Amino acid sequence: MNVAEKIRTSQRINFDEALSLYEMDFFELGELADIKRKALHDKKTYFNINRHINPTNICADVCKFCAYSANRKNPNPYTMSHEEIMQIVKDAYNRGIKEVHIVSAHNPDTGIEWYLDIFSKIKTAYPDLHIKALTAAEVDFLARHYHKSYDAILDLMIESGVDSMPGGGAEIFDEGVRDYICKGKVTSDQWLEIHQKWHERGKKSNVTMLFGHVEKREHRIDHMLRIRELQDKTGGFNCFIPLVYQTENNYLKIQDPITANEILKTMAISRIVLDNVPNIKAYWVTSTVNLALVAQEFGANDLDGTIERESINSAAGAASANGVNLQEFVALIKNTGFIPVERDSVYNEIKEW
């Protein structure tokens, strides 16, 4: 049986078969991914109304791809006070956001309370606001810096009001590539261990993959298969988010940016390989809104949200600094023939727009 037949008859594919999909006819691959998308979500495209906050850019780690942290290429360090963060949350809440997504750099000078107490303050003031916060890279940094176990940090997060974990910091799990692009940060095994422990607490999280830099196709497939393996054990991942590498203001010298064709193939392959992860997000911030709309035909069923403000990817060249207008966003999804469905942070449907 060839790989297309295996996919059409819902059989799981292995590493070599997944890799071979990059050589398949582009439109046949898109059709196969669309079959999987339709079976799960039909023509629905999910989004949420959220606000990203990145409270500090001072970082103890050095990732070559990062343009956000304060360094020689971005000599502009900042750390927000809790009062500033609360003002941002208040304004955004009054505009109707349902989720706040808080991730930072690894600031060694603030004290652990600065990282955690803000969640209790937000939860006390806005009990119905979903807090998605702290990547596994931040959890690992806090554990190392403040001599605590992962279990202790995760329990403190829950006590402080964190509802779910974002998927950041996964980058590429292959150890060789990881050493080259972000040596010293959370390892792949540690990243997966932290999410496993989070899932074992009955909590949900997302998982990203940073691609389009020095990694090869086989590293992407390896990354997806490590996710699939953990998801078989825990079922805790809501969503897979392939992040397209942004090329500006950082220390990775990439001459040939990845093509739209390769991005769409990777999205489609992820929809097929990750047969146990319910949602694939085309994160418009890194793919552009236009390509994210096309990705709806290549397996993606989620376009993230309105975001309002974003500092990590926009520092590296993405056009996301000021988010996207809700009415325009909804109109674009409709114009492409899909049904815009607002969801909450754990994928309960709120409203069809």
Site residues (vs ligand V47, CB under 6 A): 65-67, 135, 166-169, 171, 206, 208, 210, 241, 243, 245-246, 250, 283, 286, 304, 312-313, 316
Q: Which is nearer to ligand V47, 30 or 169 (CB)?
A: 169
Shortest separation between residue 151's beta carbon and ligand V47, angstroms? 22
Q: Closer CB to ligand V47, residue 171 or residue 297?
A: 171
Residue 29 or 285 having the CB closest to ligand V47 = 285
At 79, give phi and psi (nearest 5°). -140, 120
Nearer to ligand V47, 24 or 316 (CB): 316
Residue 207 β-bridge partners: 240
Least distance to ligand V47 from the beta carbon of 206, Å? 3
Identify whether the C-beta of residue 300 lies closer than 8 Å to the C-beta of residue 268: no
- Give 13 or 228: the residue with its C-beta nearer to ligand V47: 228
Query: How far is Cα 328 from Cα 8, in angstroms, rounded to an integer?
Result: 35
What single DSSP character describes residue 245? P
Q: Which two tokens stand for residue 288?
A: 């552009």
> Within 13 Å, how many C-alpha atoms sit on residue 353's CB side?
21
- Least Å distance, CB 202 to ligand V47, is 18
CA atoms within 13 A on the CB side of 20: 10
Nearer to ligand V47, 194 or 316 (CB): 316
Phi, psi of 49 (to 5 degrees): -105, 105
Residue 32 corresponds to which tokens in the numbers above?
A: 């196969």
Least distance in angstroms from the C-beta of 12 to ligand V47: 25
Beta partners for residue 206, in sequence order: 239
CB of 238 to ligand V47, least distance (A): 8
Phi and psi at 330, nearest 5°, equal -65, -40
Minimum separation from the CB atom of position 4 to ligand V47 (A)? 31
Phi/psi at 15 (nearest 5 deg)? -55, -55
